[in-house]
Structure 1
Amino acid sequence: MEKGKNKLGLIAGNGRFPFLLLEAARAHGLEVVVAAIKEETEPEMEVRAAADPGVRIYWFSLGELSRLIETFHQEGVTRAVMAGQVKHKQIFSSIRPDWRLAKLLLSLRTKNTDMLLGAVAKVLSDEGIELISSTSYLEPLLATPGVMTERAPSENEQKDIAYGRAVAQAVSGFDIGQTVIVASQACVAVEAMEGTDAAIERAGALMRTLAAEGQASTFDRSLTVVKVAKPKQDMRFDVPVIGIKTIETMERAGATCLAIEAGRTLIFDKDTMILRANAARIAMIALERG
């Protein structure tokens, strides 16, 4: 086998995504070298690595790009994948760049996540490390078209989906966020650096405030959440992901409908998520790419 082809570098962010990708890669017979981010990766990753001789783990702080490259070279890694979120606010507030990353940051025209991660991918490529799609080995978890829950979106929710999708596609094109929350074809919240769950919570809090002040009577108080991929989504990073936590957050916020894009959104714990959505009478639908 060609050198490095039986190894995979896993740059692990937060949440379950890195664990799922790790399990899938191991099931394909790959040795995995985990680059765990001190500010993001779950401590459980250390336990998982210790239990499997086919997994090695190294811990890095955000900004240690040179050390990451050196470690992958020492381990013979020629392919790597990014899995798991690195909070946008971490990238732009907590990062302490080494000389290589500092040089890269100074070269960027704009300081958004797409530009930054794309530049990191280019540096890795120049060093002989190919960054592959974050959905590699996880294709079965990509959403398929259609209604996923017992309840389909109502007529009003369908209108909110159409409006929200147009807004979300426009916003995501500027790498601001990928999620909008809508009520009666009015945009209640737009995701930015805080992330999807925080945006949903903010929308719920705003609706409760309006209701308390008697200002929400002019439109339906239920919220529809629309999450899309970017128009030119790079599947190597920042791929839309939903899971149980999404539904739990929607319940607290009073959201009744979730729309995502088929083929470009990963669903974690799908069966449990659908059961929870059905119990809460939340409609879930995956839309064909328009």
Structure 2
Amino acid sequence: MPEGQSKLGLIAGNGRFPFLLLDAARARGIAVVVAAIHEETDPEMNARATADAGIRVHWMSLGELSKLIDTFHAEGVMQAVMAGQVRHKQIFSAIRPDWKLAKLLMSLRTRNTDMLLGAVAKVLGDEGIELISSTAYLEPMLARAGVLTQRAPDEEELKDIAYGLTVARGIAGFDLGQTVVIAAQACVAIEAMEGTDATIARAGELFRTLEAEASTLRRSLTVVKVAKPKQDMRFDVPVIGLPTIEAMISAGATCLAIEAGRTLLFDEPALIARANAAGICVVGETSTPSGQS
């Protein structure tokens, strides 16, 4: 963010992402105006505002685009960031659009997440509110390249990673999801609207069924999560946290491959420690698939 920016608008989804970004901005002395979403944002946001005079919170529903713009104008916000997941099923089912958002929706050729959020970003820009990268202030949390855990992938896991990267990048290009779960170079599950952790859980359930039917597939899963080929870092940036490792443990997954430099790792020390304890390997892959870490 340029020097002299006095206020940052934070459009807060669910999870810890908004709080991490909030803490990072406040550590630099930036006042933050939070647009908290009733359907998504943790109510803890109110407590943060009570404890810190540099934080102001305004609650609104997911479809209130006009209220969002009016709030940021009233607060003097000229730059904003989206942080935290807004569940895809919320976007397409729970939303009750105001007139401005309804007009925007009517103008879209398709209503996938990228198209919708890109259009919202343009509307904000037209209103004098620049939407900046959601990794602003959090670049140290971007995954590094290479093996991040004590254990490196074995030969079979490397094959699964290579295949999974090809599949995941293919579906991500169509904005269908960013995660696939692979076993023995076969695709077990593809992410849709349910999210990464639910996809992993679904793969685990399927594999338990296959195991009960004496499947010849070996009993381990590799999870591959990628950014989109033309990832807009202002929204929907891949995020991995401790809950993903817990989901992998429950599902019987043994390997996680993510894209270095384009995936945020939350609570990395705890995440890596938990993975090490469970014998899970975590690998930061470069943008060019090679099958090697």
Q: TM-score range by the shorter chain?
A: over 0.9
Count the aligned residue pairs. 287
Aligned amino acid, residue 16 of structure 1: R
Counterpart of 1:80 in 2: which secondary structure? strand
Give the counterpart of 1:287 among 250, 275, 285.
Answer: 285
Aligned amino acid, residue 5 of structure 2: K
Following superposition, which runs of at least 4 residues in structure 1 exceed 4 angstroms of deviation? Answer: none
Aligned partner of 1:272 in structure 2 is 270
**Mind listing any 5+ residue stretches in structure 2 that lack a counterpart?**
289-293
Q: In structure 1, how many angstroms separate the alpha carbons of the residues matched to 2:15 and 2:257? A: 21
Aligned partner of 2:187 in structure 1 is 187
Equivalent residues in 2 for 1:75-154 (5 A)?
Answer: 75-154=75-154
CA contact (8 A) 1:259 1:286 kept: yes
Aligned partner of 1:237 in structure 2 is 235
**Mind listing any 5+ residue stretches in structure 1 that lack a counterpart?**
none
Question: Once the 2 structures are TM-superposed, how far is the Cα of residue 161 of structure 1 from its aligned partner?
Answer: 0.1
Counterpart of 1:286 in 2: which secondary structure? strand
Q: In structure 1, how many angstroms separate the alpha carbons of the residues matched to 2:205 and 2:4? A: 50
Q: In structure 1, how many angstroms separate the alpha carbons of the residues matched to 2:144 and 2:276? A: 18
Give the counterpart of 2:260 among 259, 262, 282.
Answer: 262
Question: Once the 2 structures are TM-superposed, how far is the Cα of residue 280 of structure 1 from its aligned partner?
Answer: 0.3
Aligned partner of 1:68 in structure 2 is 68
Aligned partner of 1:8 in structure 2 is 8
Question: Once the 2 structures are TM-superposed, how far is the Cα of residue 3 of structure 1 from its aligned partner?
Answer: 11
Q: In structure 1, how many angstroms separate the alpha carbons of the residues matched to 2:141 and 2:126? A: 31
Question: Once the 2 structures are TM-superposed, how far is the Cα of residue 101 of structure 1 from its aligned partner?
Answer: 0.2
CA contact (8 A) 1:4 1:76 kept: no
CA contact (8 A) 1:4 1:79 kept: no
Deviations 1:11-59 (A, max 9, x none): 0000000000000001111000000000000111111111000000000
Equivalent residues in 2 for 1:182-221 (5 A)?
Answer: 182-214=182-214, 216=215, 218-221=216-219
Aligned amino acid, residue 43 of structure 1: P
Q: In structure 1, how many angstroms separate the alpha carbons of the residues matched to 2:146 and 2:164? A: 18
Q: In structure 2, how many angstroms separate the alpha carbons of the residues matched to 1:195 and 1:239? A: 13
Counterpart of 1:121 in 2: which secondary structure? helix
Distance change in 2, residues 1:3/1:256 (3 Å): closer
Give the TM-score normalised by the residue count of structure 2: 0.97
Which piece of structure 1 moves more, 231-240 or 42-51? 42-51
Q: CA RMSD for the aligned pairs?
A: 1.1
Share of identical aligned residues, percent?
73
Q: In structure 1, how many angstroms separate the alpha carbons of the residues matched to 2:87 and 2:169? A: 21
Q: In structure 2, how many angstroms separate the alpha carbons of the residues matched to 1:68 and 1:4? A: 23
